[in-house]
Structure 1
């Protein structure tokens, strides 16, 4: 393995590893020791940690609010579309 994995469970003979490349894997300790580099991180949540659901509201105003020149560009596109529609409607009268 040449990437980080998560050790989920360890017994006397088998390790359960969450591998991002292959999913959940069960490996014998002998096999895992051939790939182990000797570096491990043990991480625990702090006592004040509270899981939260991620909420993101996306609005049209939020998406378009920071785009420089958007109003002018949309106005030009709308006016050009109206002009082209007008020409298409007038075309049959001049045939």
Structure 2
């Protein structure tokens, strides 16, 4: 069984990524968060790859193909919640930034 502090434990990676995302709660542009993650020396390649997957899911066309942006936010939030162990703060930031791509 992997311990929570074991670097090979995938849950530890999402926690590190989640903390990093939450620390950037004030960003207003997706490019700022994407660049911060890409350029971070604190995050491992696995974290960065996981974020790419998260961002692809968050910005997927089928999430936002509705006349009401609120529906897209709800769909995206639920998909991310079911797929990744992210805090509400990180989820809200990702969904908000993804919604800007579809305004």
- The reply to whether TM is greater than 0.5 is no
Indicate the structure whose relative CO is greater, using CA pairs within 8 Å and at least 6 residues apart. Answer: 2
Higher-helix-fraction structure: 2
**TM-score of the superposition, structure 1-length normalised?**
0.22
Q: Which has the larger radius of gyration?
A: 1
**TM-score of the superposition, structure 2-length normalised?**
0.21
Higher-strand-fraction structure: 1
